[in-house]
Amino acid sequence: MNSQKPQKKLDQSQKIKSENTSSQTSNSTTAEKRELLRIKLKNDIPTKMVIFFGIVFILIGLVSIGLEIALIHYRALNYKLANGIWGGYFSILNGLIKINLGNYDF
């Protein structure tokens, strides 16, 4: 039983090596693979959902900044750290990146 497992690994490594050598020899297959990947990305990525989550993250960031401003105003516990402002900034940045990637034309 143990002798079959190394044989399987050897077969898989030979298969991978043969695929790599065959893909390196022809440039047309590389161009075809890129085109297929571009089409697959264009069809399979849920851009509406990505944009929706981007907007949600921007709203979460704005709420976080607003709550931190309220904590600073009322001098609540650890208000000097401004955690909500930092966290809100990064949430807004994350949302903007998601929206920009959702609008990217593959």
Task: Render the burial of 50-87: b for 16+ CB within 10 Å, e for the rest.
Answer: bbebbeebbebbeebbeebeebeeeeeeebeebebbeb
Q: Are residues 53 and 76 in the same domain?
A: yes
As for how many domains the chain has, the answer is 2
Considering the domain architecture, whether residues 36 and 84 belong to the same structural domain is answered as no
Looking at the structure, tell me whether residues 38 and 60 fall in a common domain: no
pTM of the model: 0.60
40 with 51, same domain: the answer is no
pLDDT value at residue 16: 55
Of the chain, the percentage scoring pLDDT greater than 90 comes to 28
Mean pLDDT, rounded, for 3-21: 54
Inform me whether the pLDDT recorded for 5 exceeds 60.
no
Same domain, 105 and 74: yes
Are 23 and 71 in the same domain?
Answer: no
Judgement on whether residues 64 and 104 belong to the same structural domain of the protein: yes
The residue ranges of DSSP E strands in 2-63, in sequence order, are none
pLDDT digits 0-9 by tens, 46-83: 888 888 999 999 999 999 999 999 988 888 887 778 88
Whether 101 and 67 share a structural domain: yes
d(CA 15, CA 24): 14
pLDDT of residue 105: 65
Same domain flag for 106 and 55: yes
Report the distance separating Cα 11 and Cα 83, nearest Å. 54
Q: Both 33 and 51 in a single domain?
A: no
Average pLDDT over residues 9-13: 54
Predicted confidence at residue 32, as pLDDT, reads: 87
State the residue range of the domain holding 63: 45-106
Query: Is 60 exceeded by the pLDDT of residue 92?
Result: yes
